[in-house]
Amino acid sequence: MYSDLLRAVLTDELEADPPRSHSSTGELNRLRRVMDKRGSRNDPGWALQSVADLLAYDAALVRLARRRGIVVKIESLDIPDQGRMHLEQILASKGVAVPVRSVPSDMTPAH
């Protein structure tokens, strides 16, 4: 279902005006910060906004990958965290500076 939402976002963007001229990696970094910041909140409406943030980040990630000549199958993001990490790794292997993800407190390694 997530890949269907992402496909809809990307399709809507094609039909809308062309995106503003932002640096691809700059936009990706900005969206990562927004996504990470909002991901730790629990106020009303946080879940819907969190999904919107994830979709915006993933759409930017797909656009950047495609501009770099990487073929992206949207279905690879059916499990968003795995697909996102894989796409970030591919971009990084091609020398693209992808944002560093923050580690949620519940995933901090035990000492």
**Domain ranges in the chain?**
2-17+24-99
Residues 6+ apart with CB under 8 A from 30: 22
Residue 75, pLDDT score: 95
DSSP percent split of the chain into helix, strand, coil, nearest 5: 65, 0, 35
Residues 6+ apart with CB under 8 A from 101: 32, 36, 88
Residue 47, pLDDT score: 81
pLDDT digits (tens, 9 = 90+) for 28-44: 877 887 777 765 667 77
Q: pTM higher than 0.75, yes or no?
A: no
Three-state secondary structure call for residue 93: helix
pLDDT over 60 (residue 110): no
Residue 36, pLDDT score: 75
Residue 23, pLDDT score: 65
More confident residue, 111 or 76: 76
